[in-house]
Amino acid sequence: MTISVGITIERSPQQVWDCLESIEDHVNWMADAEAIRFQTPHHSGLGTVFECDTKVGPIRLVDVMEITSWEPPHQMGVHHKGLVQGDGMFTIEASGAGASWFSWTETLTFPWWMGGALGAAVSRPILRSIWRSNLKRLRVVVEEQTEPVSSDTPN
């Protein structure tokens, strides 16, 4: 199952990245992420491994993830190594003066006890809705923590 969502954030890619790169703060904008515990001494960059307590409705699980792509200020990728497996990618692209297009794509495989492909099909609209709401919260976080880029600023 693949899900993609995106949103325009009225800040530069660097400003969005500055808020995104703090993985432990993802719980502040991801409604389905309750806690993050790092399994590596480093908390950012390639090879960072962490556990995320995830809750979607009545389903709770520990999602084990490893950072597989780290390209500031444009891309952060993860590999899900827990019960739900797959890959996710955050991508940030410039979108007009001082704005960014933030996209989030996940390709996930559910275990048999979560219904496998059928569970994934049922979950797709639920997860898409949750992740769209997450991106709206991220936009608020980024726009409240940073100042707009002035179009009057010389290059």
pLDDT-derived band at 79 (thresholds 50, 70, 90) equals very high
* Nearest by Cα to 135 from 1, 5, 4: 5
* pTM over 0.85, yes/no: yes
Rg over alpha carbons for the chain, rounded to the nearest Å, is: 16
Which DSSP letter does residue 115 get? T
Q: Residue with structure tokens 């980024």?
A: 142
Measure the CA–CA gap between 84 and 120, rounded to whole angstroms.
Answer: 10
Domain ranges of the chain: 2-145
Spatial distance between the Cα atoms of 7 and 118, rounded to a whole number of angstroms: 28
Is 136's pLDDT higher than 90?
Answer: yes
* pLDDT at res. 67: 98
Separation of alpha carbons 85 and 131, rounded Å = 17
CATH topology for 2-145?
Answer: Alpha-D-Glucose-1,6-Bisphosphate; Chain A, domain 4 (3.30.530)
Are 11 and 21 contacting, i.e. CB atoms less than 8 angstroms apart? no
Q: Give the per-residue pLDDT at 155.
A: 43
The pLDDT value recorded for residue 113 is 76
Question: Alpha helix (H) ranges present in 31-152?
Answer: 116-145
Across 114-132, average pLDDT: 88
**Where do we find the tokens 């190594």?**
81
